[in-house]
Structure 1
Amino acid sequence: MTRGNQRDRDRERSQARKTQSKNKDDGLTPEQRRERDKKALEEKISKKVGQGATGEGSNAANNSKGAGKK
């Protein structure tokens, strides 16, 4: 039962994935990172609020369905 070069290929693929993954060493201090994340979260929330104003009825319907289950 030989694996041939499968093990080597898997190692190469693993290395490639590691380089593509989110790198925490982005050159920012923890304070700068918090500020960046805070701004992104605020933008996301404001976007959700904007969508909620137009599609408020669908959210109310979903909430009423879940209200009976406990």
Structure 2
Amino acid sequence: MTRGNQREKDRERAQARAKGGKQKDDGLTPEQRRERDAKALQEKAAKKAAQDAAGGKAAGGSGGGKK
């Protein structure tokens, strides 16, 4: 029997995944989460616009490549 303890290993892995991992519940409602994410995106866009106005790649930003 070449795979005798495979079930046990799989069970251990499943338990480890169930215990650890990402916590989705951050205590926010979906509306609060949307507002937080929208604010983060606006700040990121403003930072990128300021970087582009200051010279873009010379300021250390990654150009990304193709557009």
TM-score range, shorter chain: 0.5 to 0.7
Aligned 1:33-48 pairs, distance under 5 A: 33-48=33-48
Q: Give 3-state SS (helix, strand or coil) of 1:62's partner.
A: coil
Report the TM-score, using the length of structure 2 for normalisation.
0.52
What is the Cα deviation at residue 33 of structure 1?
Answer: 0.9
Q: Deviations over 1:18-64 (max 9, x none)?
A: 4313x3322111111111111222232233334434228x85x734x
How many angstroms apart in 2 are the aligned matches of 1:44 and 1:28? 21
Number of aligned pairs? Answer: 60
Amino acid at match of 1:62: K
With CA pairs under 8 Å and 6+ residues apart, which has the higher RCO, 1 or 2?
2
Q: Once structures 1 and 2 are overlaid, which stretch shifts more, 47-56 or 35-44?
A: 47-56
Report the TM-score, using the length of structure 1 for normalisation.
0.51
Structure 1 unaligned blocks of 5 or more: 64-70
Superposed CA RMSD in Å reads: 3.0
Amino acid at match of 2:57: G
2:12 matched to which residue of 1?
12
Which is richer in helix?
Answer: 1
Structure 2 unaligned blocks of 5 or more: none
- CA 50–17 in structure 1, closer or farther in 2 if over 3 Å, else same: farther
Q: Give 3-state SS (helix, strand or coil) of 2:66's partner.
A: helix
